[in-house]
Structure 1
Amino acid sequence: MTASADHVKALVRAHAEGDEDAFYSVALQLAAKSARQGHNRLAAELRDLVDEARAQPIRRYEPTPVVQPRGELADLVAASFPDIRLADMTLARHVREQLRRVLHEQRQRERLENHGFAPIYRLLLVGPPGTGKSMSAAMLAQELSLPLFTVRLDGLISRFMGQTAAKLRLVFDAAAKSRAVYLFDEFDAIGAERRVEGDVGEARRILNSFLLFLDEARPESLVVAATNHAGILDNALFRRFDAVITYDVPSAEQAIEVLRRRLGSMNINEVDWDGLANQVGGLSHAELVRAAEAAAKDAILAGGNQLSSAALRAALDARRATRNG
């Protein structure tokens, strides 16, 4: 038997927590250990099993339909049940580890609360547009089998000027009663520094109300705020959140992974990925996905499914030119 007690415990723990990445990682560790001990056939079989499992479409149970918000709440939030999983996302290591920690604490919520501790439930996600902040909120909802309620704060303020604080109270009251992930998108709409010149009394009242509601929030739900402009946020906000996760544009290695994931249904055998590494700098996850989709659709509409390095490079350049223009 090549599996150590620690490996067996790690496999059981990963399965219990629904952490697919960790499960496969431990299985590959076992394969490596088997190879070192001379059990080459077992090592090869383990690696093949992991590769086959990863290649299989994920079996999903049909989610319970999301109960749509009613009454005044229906005007404030959009409800959905996302299907994005952590394993589907290309993220920097520190971001992935922080998100895993959130999932782990939420899955062990009852155990923590029995000892007088609350899991991480107030998150601030900061970083440039298109780097995976909103997708992370969707992933948390899916992994925890919760609905996602999205609050677009810029629209909320413009639509309910003079009533925004009262409307925010409705959302936080709902969060206390209905367990879900509540995403406050475009958070800088209310979170901007209170001393910014030209700030008005209404904006200060909204921010102060949000801070109060956040302090009073209970861990029944996850409150996730996302912003593209961390630099203009009021300093008082950062210490109110249990965790602040910082996103950035992907590295060249991560960018190539994003492209390869999106082009999984295409023939990419002829693509020189090493040569493309210099073409992806500065593009966000979303921009990379758009470039991949544009190149793929051009190939399909031309009657094939094979991509060349030149076609993908042209799509990347076009996406960069669109952004700069």
Structure 2
Amino acid sequence: MAGLGEHITAMVRSHASGDDSAFYSVALQIAAREARQGHHVLADDIKKAVDASRSATPRSNVTKLAQPRGDLANLVEVSHPEVTLRNLVGPSELMERLIQVIAEQRQRKRLLDHGFDPTHRLLLEGPPGTGKTMTAAVLARELSLPMFTVRLDSLLSKYMGETAGKLRLVFDAVAQRRGIYLFDEFDALGADRSGNDVGEARRILNSFLVFLEQASPESIVIAATNHRAILDKALFRRFDMVLTYDLPDTTQARAVIKGRLGPLMKGMRWDIVDARTEGLSHADLVKAAEAAAKAVLMRGDTTIGGEDLVSALDSRRTASGG
């Protein structure tokens, strides 16, 4: 019965983490065990139940079972993004590196079998609104994984014991629940501190470094920051890849606007639009495009002109303090 007990424990753990593939795998192992013991009817029933469940459960729903529970529920927020790689606009070098991350994760078992970890620790740095959080969402969607956003307000504590314990909970989940784990506004945790709390801050950072170093390659841990300059230098060598995000150039700005407006935009006068996009982030461009579209539709038109977009871009620049 010891072997059966281990199988049941594994099934419970895989169910709790929302990992249906692991759950079915263990169920089939139990079926094989029963067959070896001569219980062929029971083994056949288990196999039929697995086959029926697999065919009845859409693949896209598998990771949606991975809801955080217990103390972890207070530390992370789970989402299931629908944004794809085609929706992300960036320089070719950045896109190529993201494609590489996706490819390595999709073939992670082959890499692990030969002693190589897939890229699974990413540091994203750059101005606000340039696509860092969106990148985490894209990776989640492309790899059919849930995205767990770590709530730093719940994670950080003035008591080191509590903070280290909470960090351990998150990284235990990284090993047990395959997903994308995003530490957004990471400088709140990873900043190079000075002052009266330097000792306490150093201990918190050292705990994070240890956990990051030991992080399971089954999940991807992402830290995103708007302030690379204030991060502790010890952090950079612990990440497998550092990706830098910048404000979009003219070509990228056009792509962002086109991607949001689609068929509403015909015969756009880019000669009057391009100069107005300079200095705006990807998020600013999306907001401006949406504002222009709503204004046009509400007045009864169906086509957005250059003047409509220029007006919205200027308003957005003013609102963002540009």
TM-score tier after normalising by the smaller chain length: 0.7 to 0.9
Higher normalized helix content (fraction of residues): 2
What letter corresponds to residue 249 of structure 1 in structure 2? Answer: L
- What's the counterpart of residue 113 of structure 2? 114
Instruction: Work out whether residues 74 and 154 of structure 2, in 8 Å CA contact, stay in contact via their aligned partners in 1.
Output: no
1:114/1:82 Cα in 2 relative to 1: closer, same or farther (>3 Å)? same
* CA distance in structure 2 between the aligned counterparts of 1:265 and 1:283, rounded to whole angstroms: 23
- 1:206 corresponds, among 197, 200, 204, to 204
Question: Could you say if the C-alpha distance between residues 160 and 72 of structure 1 is closer, same or farther in structure 2, counting changes exceeding 3 Å?
Answer: farther
For the Cα contact (< 8 Å) 1:66–1:147, is it kept in 2?
Answer: no
Q: Deviations over 1:164-193 (max 9, x none)?
A: 221111000111111111111110001101
1:318 aligns with 2:284: no
Aligned length: 264
Rounded to whole Å, the distance in 2 between the matches of 1:250 and 1:156 is: 33
- 1:240 aligns with 238
Name the residue aligned to 1:225: 223
> Is it true that 1:215 corresponds to 2:228 in the alignment?
no
Equivalent residue letter for 2:83? I
User: Kindly tell me: are residues 262 and 160 of structure 1, through their superposed partners in 2, closer, same or farther at Cα, counting changes over 3 Å?
Assistant: farther
2-structure distance, mates of 1:269, 1:68 = 43
Does residue 170 in structure 1 map to residue 169 in structure 2? yes
Deviation for aligned residue 1:77: 0.2
How far apart are residue 162 of structure 1 and its match? 6.1
How far 1:199 moved relative to its partner? 4.2
CA contact (8 A) 2:127 2:245 kept: yes
The aligned residue for residue 27 of structure 1 is: none
Distance 1:291-1:112 versus aligned 2 partners, 3 A rule: same
Structure 2 residue runs of 5 or longer lacking an equivalent are: 1-57
CA distance in structure 1 between the partners assigned to 2:225 and 2:154 by the alignment: 15
Give the drift of 1:61.
6.3
Change (3 A) 1:114 1:193: same
Task: Please tell me whether the aligned partners of residues 154 and 189 of structure 1 are also in contact (alpha carbons under 8 angstroms).
Answer: no
Contact 1:152–1:186 under 8 Å retained in 2: no
- Seen in structure 2, the aligned counterparts of structure 1 residues 153 and 83 have a Cα distance that, compared at 3 Å, is same
SS of the aligned residue for 1:97 comes to helix
Q: Distance in 2 between matches of 1:299 and 1:61?
A: 40
Task: Say whether 1:307 aligns with 2:280.
Answer: no
Distance 1:292 1:206 in 2: 42
Shift of 1:158: 6.0
Residue range with higher mean Cα deviation, 123-132 or 106-115: 106-115
> After superposition, where does 1:87-98 map in structure 2 within 5 Å?
87-98=86-97
Could you tell me the TM-score, scaled by structure 2's length?
A: 0.78
- Cα deviation for residue 201 of structure 1 reads 3.1
Q: Report the counterpart of residue 292 of structure 2 in structure 1.
A: 295
Task: String of CA shifts for 1:260-314, please: whole Å, max 9, x gaps.
Answer: 1100141x22320233111111110000000000000001111122111111001
For the residues of structure 2 that align with 1:198 and 1:303, how far apart are their CA atoms?
Answer: 61
Alignment match, 1:105: 104
What are the superposed Cα offsets for residues 198-246 of structure 1, whole Å, 9 maximum, x if unpaired? 5443322211110111011121111111111101000000000000000
Q: 2:60 & 2:232 partners in 1: Cα distance?
A: 41
**Counterpart position of 2:130:** 131
Structure 2 residue identity aligned to 1:148: M
SS at match of 2:255: helix
Task: State the secondary structure of the residue aligned to 1:106.
Answer: helix
1:276 corresponding residue in structure 2:
273
Look at both structures and tell me which one has the larger radius of gyration over its CA atoms: 2
Instruction: Indicate which of 239, 249, 252 corresponds to 1:251.
Output: 249
> Quick one: which amino acid aligns to residue 186 of structure 1?
E
| Identity among equivalent pairs (%) | 56
Residues 169 and 277 of structure 1: CA distance in aligned 2, closer, same or farther (over 3 Å): same
Q: Is the 8 A contact 2:272 2:310 kept in 1?
A: no
Counterpart amino acid of residue 305 in structure 2: S
Tell me how far apart the structure 1 counterparts of residues 158 and 262 of structure 2 sit (CA, whole Å).
42
TM-score (norm 1): 0.77
The root-mean-square deviation of aligned C-alpha atoms, in Å, is 1.8
Residue 75 of structure 1 aligns with which residue?
Answer: 74
Q: Which residue number corresponds to residue 25 of structure 1? A: none
Contact 1:255 1:280 in 2 (8 A): yes
Q: 1:290 to 1:117 in 2, by over 3 A?
A: same
Query: Distance between the aligned counterparts of 2:290 and 2:65, measured in 1?
Result: 30
1:91, 1:198 → 2: CA distance?
41
